Chains A and B, each alone.
Chain A
């Protein structure tokens, strides 16, 4: 069954869209990532124009994040105070990032920048997470091994402006979360994603938050970042396709619910290994696209008449 998408002006099979939304929603609910780094390349692949894929992908991420957050809310695994602090930084970073993005697209090399930052960040984060979680898994499976100290004194404990984050069990300065939020917001705007895959490891390794809380808090923060991006894209480039978004959302919200249930049954280390492998796979795919000679050396960018 085909459907004609009004803004994208392409005709796509309904079940492919529902399926794509479902898969990405499932991963989103399980890992607490928005799924933008998956949905956007997948939409390119089925022939949706890039600008529309990026903007509509952001809209879909809003829905799956809302659905995921509600599931976490009932389990009290959302740290609102931390989420708001991260968000304050995030909005500043993403406004800056959208400006830089616009300047680079005018110069014509924005594709390369997006691909390189995907490879760099996804590769780096994936590798770090995989290495760390494999080590953690080996520790927990070996009986009698010493558990990781829950209270390590890092740089985050020595800065001023300390605040109590009860849900996370932290008493740290607000400066690191704001900086992390701004950095993630900036990168998210450049790469056209929600930034969960950067946010989740940053919360675990830089802020020392417990993994269970990280997922819900990251989703909470992603709702606002991607909501902001959606409205920005709709007003500046008219590139949000509501029909496409709706189909992805219907698949996505259902997937996210199932994902959140499955995620709770898995051990935190297993969850992190799976996310690391997924992130590495996407990075490898994009790296290969840059390294191998493409079958068609030319590409078309149709421009709409105003």
Chain B
């Protein structure tokens, strides 16, 4: 037994010299009526079976990705003096949320080849799932999607936001905004040296509506007629109550 363990310890460095272990401060986010966004702490360590290798420094990249949805990007142009939508490109799948945190500028810590393979940078995360070739100008539509989502805070690249101490322990905070879509959020952690990914790890954060929010969403989708009539009833009762209340106040 001891021999077997010793043997395993001896051979593992040949496969991977450095591996990543990590945890999340929470793997479940409940969206309630008071939900104001959530900050998730991602922490971890680099496990080594041998002394730290020489060469380029160790870097860490952390990505958090919301559920992907199809998006139509429309562009306006001037026709007869009016600004109207003239063309549209449908992007099959774009993450509703995408945040990257790194220990150093992304261009330094990741090569293009590795980016292409693991789909880490924002443009890769979108293009990875393909832009329909329906418009010659498709790249500018993807750029517009990234620009608008970056401006709204849904997409973000924070270089240097991961702190790495003694080349072993790392931590980063990922802020989930208040305007969050329900679904499974994928968290990925990459260790790189000289731009090459040497190990990676994947985790999921479960984002769900809870309580009243959950109940209303279910009712709206499962019993739309009842939901519609209930909305109507609330409106009528509220209208009557305000009228009666004001009459009472004046009397």
Contact = CB atoms under 8 A, between A and B. Distances in A.
A60 interface: yes
B109 interface: no
Interface in B188-247: 209, 212-214, 216-217, 220-221, 224-225, 227-232, 234-236, 238-244, 246-247
Interface residues of B, number: 64
Given A4-B213, A11-B178, A302-B71, A108 B224 contact: no
Interface residues of A, number: 61
Contacts of B84: 109, 111-112, 290
Contacts of A249: 234-235, 238-239
Contacts of A281: none
Q: For the complex, would chain A's binding face be called helix, strand, loop or mixed by DSSP majority?
A: helix
B75 to A, nearest CB: 5
A62, A223, A254 pick with most chain B CB within 10 angstroms: A62
Interface string B111-132: 0000000000000000000000
A141 interface: no
Interface string B128-148: 000000000000010011011
B238 to A, nearest CB: 5
B105 interface: no
A106 interface: no
Contacts of A59: 231-232, 235
A300 B148 contact: yes
Given A67-B239, A302-B69, A303-B72, A4 B216 contact: no
B34 A242 contact: no
Contacts of B69: 302-305
A303 B70 contact: yes
Interface string A1-25: 0111011011100000000000000
Contacts of B141: 298
A122 interface: no
B27 interface: no
Interface stretch (A165-173, A188-196, A227-235, A271-279): A227-235
Contact of A4 (B35, B82, B147, B235): B35
Contact of A297 (B75, B149, B217, B221): B75
Interface of B: 31-37, 69-78, 81-85, 88, 96, 141, 144-145, 147-149, 177-182, 209, 212-214, 216-217, 220-221, 224-225, 227-232, 234-236, 238-244, 246-247
Given A4-B34, A11-B35, A293-B83, 6 more contacts: A9-B182, A11-B177, A63-B236, A231-B229, A235-B224, A242-B230
